[in-house]
Amino acid sequence: MPAFKMSVARISAGLAASAFFASTAFAATLVVNNESPLQVAGNPGFTYLVNGGTGSFNVATEGFLFCTNIVSLGAPPDSPVTVVPQHGSWRLPIANDVLGVSYNSSELRVNQTQSPTLVCHTSGPEGEVDTALSDGIFRNAYEPKSFEQFPNQINWLPPLGFNWNNPTWSAVPSDPCASTADQPAAVDEAVACAAVSGQRAAGAGATMRAPTLWTGTDGSNFFYVARVDARYGPPNGQPASTTPMLAGNAPSGTGSALLTVVDAYDSGVVGIGGGYLGDSGSWCILEQFPTTFTSTMCNGLPTSGTLNGPLSNFGGFVVGAPPIYLTNVTFYIAFVRPIIGAPPAVNEPAVAVSIMLEPSVISEGGDAFKGDDVVFGFLPASTGFPWMTGQ
């Protein structure tokens, strides 16, 4: 197994009260917004110190933490607390709205009562999902890790004879949000579905589902692309749109869902040292899966932008909003980042992409299957985490 660096979530706070939680010296878990827990690692574990109007919260965990703010109307409410997750030399998106921290019975909780805007997703140090279901139901822990993880990440009931220890990816549905009678979902997501998945070229311009992002490099830049699927309401068989309705252009109102996409990558972090990829670059929305990667593939596209750190200027998209009322959306999001340092090990990820759904829809039962909320990308020569290949 590879030796993964532990992640550190540094949260700077400006609070009026004074408090101090001594660092832990025993096993504990970190839970943000009731998402799947991450293990708090090592000694001291965590510290939470507030002194007058300033404070800090530091916690070391054995996994990746993806957070962002999603607001239907206006700006996020003012919050004195900002969450800045880190995983080794990784850069992850920064979010606000950390309204409360508590520790009880070896469990460290952030925003136990769901925040108005903060959304977080977690993943273990090897990309594993503890449970794909939002209600916390676990599968049989005695099964092999590869057999355990692939069904946790793909909301699908495979036909008789399909073997997750040696999966045939061309048989796996490309759209995780479009279940049919022939390809039924394992978990019913009648309220809303959010999914981000890996895709690979499959001849004649077709694509097939993949366990990791499609990545590439020209020696100077690193490229990665993810497929994004979203649905509001139960499956209805309507064809998906390849042009998402951006949040800034969408009318306000009920009967819709707001989603956004964030990315993270192995890069230099202040105080930690150099990484693989730089903060600059570009991103864009593609209507079709690209046949090749180039440094100019985002040039001139109507929905695109520049990067200066993790993706933050993609304001999100709406599903189900009037006047179009599209309930199914599918598109591809591509990234180009410069290479600035030595690459990670072949079985350690270089990038990741996560999809987030607004908390108001989550609270109504949206995104019940969370296994496909985060997807990792590796060096082109890699086959993913060791559990993906039975190593």
Is residue 64 over pLDDT 50? yes
User: Would you place residue 308 in the very low, low, confident or very high pLDDT band (cuts 50, 70, 90)?
Assistant: very high
Task: Answer whether residue 220 shows pLDDT above 90.
Answer: yes
Predicted pLDDT at 260: 95
If you average pLDDT over each of 7-11, 105-109, 290-294, which comes out highest?
A: 290-294
Q: Is 148 helix (H, G, I), strand (E, B) or coil?
A: helix
- Nearest residue to 157 (alpha-carbon basis) of 194, 183, 131: 183
Give percent above pLDDT 70 in the chain: 82
**d(C-alpha 213, C-alpha 91), whole Å:** 18
Q: For 132-183, what is each residue's pLDDT tens digit?
A: 887 665 555 567 788 889 999 999 999 999 998 889 999 999 999 998 888 9
What pLDDT does residue 321 have? 81
d(CA 260, CA 356): 5
Quote the pTM value.
0.90
Lowest model confidence (mean pLDDT) among 41-55, 183-197, 221-235, 295-309: 41-55
Q: Assess contact for 57 and 79: CB atoms under 8 A.
A: no
Is the per-residue pLDDT at 22 higher than 50? no
Average model confidence (pLDDT) across the chain = 83
The rounded percent of the chain whose pLDDT value lies above 90 is 39
Looking up tokens 């070391």, which residue turns up? 60
pLDDT band at 19 (very low <50, low <70, confident <90, very high): very low
For residue 323, cis peptide bond before it (omega within 30 degrees of 0): yes
Residue 232 has pLDDT above 50, yes or no: yes
Domain segments of the chain as ranges: 7-123, 145-388
Average pLDDT over residues 216-222: 96
Confidence label for 363 from pLDDT (cuts 50, 70 and 90): confident
Higher pLDDT, 251 or 197: 197
pLDDT score for 278 = 93
Out of 54-63, 109-118, 261-270, least confident range: 54-63
More confident residue, 314 or 4: 314
- pLDDT at site 252: 57
- Least confident window among 71-75, 104-108, 188-192: 71-75
Contacts of 11 (CB under 8 A, 6+ apart): 56, 57, 58, 81, 82, 83, 84, 98, 101, 110
**Least reliable range by pLDDT among 27-31, 80-84, 353-357, 381-385:** 80-84
